[in-house]
């Protein structure tokens, strides 16, 4: 069954179509949620809430773009909303104070000049490392680098300024590099 | 490690699939209430909506309309429902034309207002109005005002009518303040208005 047929079925309230859509996109969307969550359980909650949102909003899918892309956007928005509601989120100001020293300790020469083999790292390991990032860093890094949002869009989504988004991304990158290098060293 | 290296690693996560097995039944069981509300919305938008609810809504609208029509008919009808027994009609204003050969002493309007018809101004007003009544050519048992006999006849009045006359030396003032029901509504104040009653089959 094509994506558009699935979407039409879901619009008509067809449970079979909803089930097919859920089963087709559950795992990839769980992968998205794992990048934004701090653990697997949270990611599962996010994906459940996200699919409720998908089924509620399926009528707004016009069928002009890809269904998967549309679902991904809905899921990400739902995750960000959940994160905003949850108490797990650190305040940006506090997080910056906590992380400033750690990031600055990583010298540019050490982090930028060493060659890095991408093949040394699996996807799951990378996701595990992302999950250890502070919420603000993790969100901006995911949104900008992986999901392709612009700083302006991120600023709107997270209710922060564009400048804050950029600075968060810069610091997130530095911290992520540091954690990756440490991880590879530990593996060896 | 450059930013490019990092971005390359991170970009690989775009299609990260943990190969998790979905459990639709558990999803439905855990979110049944939220899915139900979704179904309703979808049904409403696809035209499959709750027909029973629509039926109830239309029934309520129809009942309201019918009740409204009934109340309008009941309270603002031509007055035919306000039936006042004939014995409530004061004999003093029974028109002679209704009792043409009646020997009972029924004073005519002339007797009630003896000088009113004599006065040119007043009589002209009454006569003009009687013409209007004649033109209506009503078929009810109400007698028209101004018959061929030339006597001003008042219609049958089904309600006690406080008609008082105040006579000065030259002027007679007739005060009729209440509404007079004659199967047709006739409101007498300064002028005489006759509303034609609906013809009953």
Q: What percent of chain B has pLDDT over 70?
A: 31
Report the distance separating Cα A32 and Cα A123, nearest Å: 12
Q: Where are the alpha helices (DSSP H) in A118-161?
A: 123-131, 135-141, 151-158
Contact B42 A13 (CB under 8 A): yes
Q: Cα–Cα distance between A164 and A151 in angstroms, integer? A: 9
* CA distances (Å), origin B35, targets A28, A79, B149: 22, 19, 87
* CA R_g for chain A: 18
At B144 the three-state DSSP class reads coil
CB B126 within 8 A of CB B176: no
Residue B50, pLDDT score: 46
pLDDT for residue B20 is more than 80: yes
What was the pLDDT predicted at B21?
Answer: 92
**According to the model, what pLDDT value does residue A183 have?**
87
pTM confidence score: 0.54
B164 touches chain A (CB under 8 A): no
CB-CB contact of A169 with A75 (8 Å)? no
Phi, psi for B172 (deg, rounded to 5)? -110, 125
- For residues A179 and A138, the answer to whether their CB atoms sit within 8 Å is no
A121/B9 Cβ within 8 A: yes
* Nearest residue to B130 via CA among B119, B150, B148, B146: B146
Give the whole-angstrom CA distance, residue A158 versus residue A124.
26
Judging contacts by C-beta atoms under 8 Å, the chain A residues touching residue B35 are 52, 55
* B14, B22, B42 member nearest A12 (Cβ): B42
**Measured distance CA(B125)–CA(B188) in Å, rounded:** 12
What DSSP designation does B191 have? S
Distance of CA A154 to the CA centre of its chain: 12
pLDDT at B123: 45
Q: Confirm if A170 and A124 have CB atoms less than 8 A apart.
A: no
Q: Do B16 and A118 touch (CB under 8 A)?
A: no
The predicted model gives B89-116 an average pLDDT of 48
Burial class (CB in 10 A: 0-12, 13-18, 19+), A181: middle
Tens of each residue's pLDDT in chain A, 188 residues: 788 889 999 998 899 999 999 999 999 999 999 999 999 999 999 999 999 999 999 999 988 889 999 999 999 999 999 988 875 554 454 454 444 444 444 445 445 555 555 557 888 999 999 999 999 999 999 999 999 999 999 999 999 999 999 999 999 999 999 998 888 888 77
β strands within chain B, DSSP E? 163-167, 172-176, 180-182, 184-188, 192-194
- ipTM higher than the 0.90 cut: no
Residue B168: band (very low, low, confident or very high) from pLDDT cuts 50, 70, 90: very low
Q: A173 and B3 in contact (C-beta within 8 Å)?
A: yes
The answer, yes or no, to whether residue B27 has pLDDT greater than 70, is: yes
Neighbours of B151 (CB within 10 A): 15
Q: Quick one: pLDDT at residue B127?
A: 46
Torsion from C-alpha of B45, B50, B51, B55, nearest 10 degrees: -110
Give B9's strand partners.
none
Residue B151 pLDDT exceeds 90:
no
The alpha-carbon gap from A94 to the nearest alpha carbon of chain B, in Å, equals 25
pLDDT at A21: 94
Q: Is B22 on the interface with A (CB under 8 A)?
A: yes
Chain A contact set for B32 (CB, 8 A) = none
Strand pairing report for B163-167 and B172-176: antiparallel
pLDDT, one tens digit per residue, over B44-93 is 444 444 455 567 888 889 999 999 998 888 877 555 445 555 555 555 44
Which contiguous run of DSSP H or E holds residue A83?
Answer: helix A67-85
């Amino acid at each position: 069954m094509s994506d558009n047929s699935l979407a039409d079925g879901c619009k008509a309230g067809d449970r079979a179509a909803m089930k097919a859509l859920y089963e087709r996109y559950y795992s990839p969307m769980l992968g998205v949620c794992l990048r934004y969550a701090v653990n697997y359980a949270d990611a599962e909650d996010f994906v459940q809430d996200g699919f409720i949102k998908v089924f509620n909003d399926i009528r707004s899918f016009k069928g002009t773009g890809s269904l998967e892309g549309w679902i991904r956007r809905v899921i990400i928005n739902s995750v960000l909303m959940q994160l905003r509601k949850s108490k797990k989120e650190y305040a940006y100001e506090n997080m910056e104070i906590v992380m400033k020293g750690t990031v600055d300790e990583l010298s540019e020469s050490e982090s930028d000049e060493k060659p890095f083999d991408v093949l040394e790292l699996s996807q799951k390991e990378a996701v595990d490392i992302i999950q250890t990032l502070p919420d603000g860093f993790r969100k901006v890094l995911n949104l900008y680098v992986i999901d392709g949002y612009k700083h302006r869009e991120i600023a709107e989504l997270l209710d922060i300024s564009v400048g804050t988004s950029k600075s968060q991304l810069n610091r997130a990158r530095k911290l992520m590099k540091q954690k990756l290098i440490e991880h590879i060293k530990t593996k060896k | 490690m450059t930013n490019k290296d990092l971005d390359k690693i991170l970009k690989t996560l775009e299609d990260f699939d943990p190969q998790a097995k979905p459990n639709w039944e558990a999803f439905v069981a855990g979110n049944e209430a939220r899915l139900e509300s979704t179904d309703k919305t979808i049904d409403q938008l696809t035209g499959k909506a709750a027909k029973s609810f629509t039926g109830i809504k239309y029934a309520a609208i129809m009942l309201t309309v019918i009740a409204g029509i009934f109340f309008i008919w009941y309270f603002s009808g031509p007055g035919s429902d306000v039936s006042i027994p004939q014995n409530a009609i004061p004999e003093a204003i029974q028109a002679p034309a209704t009792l043409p050969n009646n020997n009972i002493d029924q004073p005519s309007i002339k007797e009630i207002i003896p000088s009113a018809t004599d006065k040119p101004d007043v009589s002209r007003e009454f006569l003009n109005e009687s013409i209007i009544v004649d033109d209506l050519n009503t078929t009810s048992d109400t007698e028209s005002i101004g018959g061929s006999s030339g006597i001003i006849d008042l219609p049958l009045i089904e309600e006690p009518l406080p008609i008082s006359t105040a006579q000065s030396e030259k002027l007679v003032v007739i005060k009729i303040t209440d509404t007079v029901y004659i199967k047709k509504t006739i409101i007498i104040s300064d002028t005489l208005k006759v509303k034609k009653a609906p013809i009953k089959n």
